[in-house]
A = this chain, B = another copy of it.
């Protein structure tokens, strides 16, 4: 069982060589007395020719059989320029069936007609499709590139525990009942945050890990309960040095995997500017269509929606969809309005600019001077479509217009989908206020250090305290982010206090952690990249599922193994836990 070559490597210069190949039957064609088989392995396809002598012995062979074939490489009479091995074929002199195959439930080829559900269930066949196999291999290439870069920068790969302590702040933990300490639970890590900080206290200076992380959240759209994070932390480096390192890492990945040179340094945009221009902290910067702040411009316009928003200290923002007025019917504009409503806006106001002025339901509220001011503010010309959202809440205005902007960018094909536009978002607020809970939450996490200039605001003016935190954004996705961390106990206590934690809670939940700061903790910071997302974007995939070998489905099930499953009562007894009565009957799914 030895092969001389793989199925992707034979070329015209191999003609005349005797070779042995192994692979799966991708396609079989009878041409009169001759049989052609495309043999497939992870490297590619090679055409095998079974002449009359052998053709009859191929009768039972079907797709997905595994064959070992020995023969001579010959030049093809009709070459296939779309196939790397298309100049040659192998003339069989001997072959054996290594294994047989039933008719597979999906078509094992790039183009398959199977449903997502069937593909997920037979994932091991889905993964045979070259398009998907290449995505998994590209992911491995990304990982290799990361190892090379960080090893080369003197970072130490260190593993941190997966059986952790549960910390209620943040997303919901997956729990693991302890058998030895019955009634107690481990939690799977949402990130190695605290351990990586301890490693800095330990003096490792430069740490990284490609770590699995777990969040038991409801799986909206494209989330996974377990995901992989490239986790990087370093001591004694200022933010410029950390960003420099982060972007050189990304540049190496782009070069190694896509052969694209990205220009460094990446540009930086403050969180405030991103919100103002794009309404979102992960803007897709491949196209314009920027938001315009109209608070001043429309302050005296007698339109109730604008007025009530501004009177409540709210906001009015607009987008100029240039040259599209004539392409947007009432129906299409209404569809945009629906997007606005999905993001909690009360509605979407609009105007079409014509050579004669403006038209649209709210045109009547503008006098000439107000209109001039508006058109100037929005740089509006004839055939522009102007969209407006007003609300007392800044985030509602931003969310709604950002969603509309992303929708239009895609629909109007305002960008080349094969471009990669990276940037840093910096100067995030430390906190965001939850009116529902009446308290502040950490925008990144409670261990983020405020900007040096804002250190004193942490308790006195938390709403305006900026964090020394940053995100790296690509094409409208957050690839990752990080921050400088707090490294003294007093400041950490203040940060907890700003979040409304009692002294008792700080001690019981984080005492072990803040204690570490007493013994010579170095200034430190770092970042994490979402590996699944990086792989998804670099393979130009629509879903994280394409770059995870065995993903969970949207109801957190593994479609291959059908996990999670019920377990024996004896197993639960050993753990000292029981499933509550009625739970199994009323299972949510």
A interface residues, Cβ below 8 angstroms from B: 1, 3, 22, 24, 40-42, 64-66, 98-102, 104, 122-125, 127-128, 133, 136-137, 139-140, 143-144, 147, 151, 156-166, 168, 172-188, 194-195, 198-199, 201-205, 212, 214, 216, 218, 225-226, 228, 236-238, 487-488, 512-513, 516, 518-523, 548-550, 552, 555-558, 560-568, 571-580, 583-584, 586-589
Contacts and interface: CB of A to CB of B under 8 A. Distances in A.
Contact of A66 (B228, B522, B548, B579): B522
A105 to B, nearest CB: 8
A174 B179 CA distance: 9
A212 B159 contact: yes
B101 A587 contact: no
Contacts of A124: 198-199, 201-202, 516, 519
B202 A133 contact: yes
B561 A165 contact: yes
Contacts of A573: 580
30 contacts: A22-B236, A66-B520, A66-B521, A101-B520, A102-B519, A104-B519, A125-B519, A128-B203, A133-B204, A139-B158, A147-B147, A162-B162, A163-B564, A165-B563, A168-B571, A175-B177, A175-B567, A181-B556, A182-B586, A182-B587, A182-B588, A183-B583, A184-B587, A185-B564, A185-B566, A194-B561, A195-B550, A512-B560, A573-B580, A578-B580
A101 B42 contact: no
A199 B124 CA distance: 7
A180 B1 contact: no
A183 B578 contact: no
Q: Which of A22, A203, A552 has the most CB of B within 10 A?
A: A203
A154 to B, nearest CB: 9
A124 B550 CA distance: 36
Contacts of A127: 199, 202-204
A165 B162 CA distance: 18
A311 to B, nearest CB: 40
Contacts of A176: 174-176, 188, 564
Nearest to A213: B162
Contacts of A575: 175
Contacts of A201: 124
A93 to B, nearest CB: 20
B99 A521 contact: yes
B577 A180 contact: no
A101 B160 CA distance: 25
A134 to B, nearest CB: 11
Given A64-B519, A165-B565, A179-B172, A160 B226 contact: no
A549 B186 CA distance: 18
A512 B560 CA distance: 7
